[in-house]
Amino acid sequence: MDKIFLKNCEFYGFHGVLPEETALGQRFVISLILEMDTRIPGKSDEVSDTVSYADVFDTMRVIVEEECYKLLETLTDRLAMVILEQYPLIEFVTVTAEKPRPPINGHFESVAVEIKRSRKDIE
C-alpha cells in the first residue's frame, strides 16, 4: 500500500485531564500516515483522483482546535475515524498525537499516542 505523510502539523487545542489544560490550552503536534493506492493519481496527475492534503489538514484543524477531549487516546481515535469516514480512498490511517509540553513534573521531550485504523473499523 502506498503512503502519504502529513508530518508534525501544529495546532492549539484544549485537551487534557487537568483543568488548566482545558482552560488555557496547549500546542499539539499531529502526524498522519495515509495508506491508499496512488497509481491512478500517479498516472492522471489530477487532484480529484487522490486525497487533498489541504482538506485533510483542515479536517485535523477542526477536530484538534474546536473539539475537546480528556485523553490523547480519544483525540487520536476521533481523528482516525473522521479521516476514514470523509476520505473513502484511504484504506488505513496512522495518527500520532503529541503533547510537546504536558503539565507533568519531570524532564522529557513529549508524550504521544499513536494508533492505526483501517476502513473496516468504521463499518
Residue tagged active-site, from 7, 99, 116, 120:
99
99 in catalytic set: yes
**SS3 readout for 32-53:** EEEEECCHHHHHHCCHHHCCCH
* Number of other residues whose CB lies within 10 A of the CB of residue 46: 9
Q: Which residues are catalytic?
A: 99
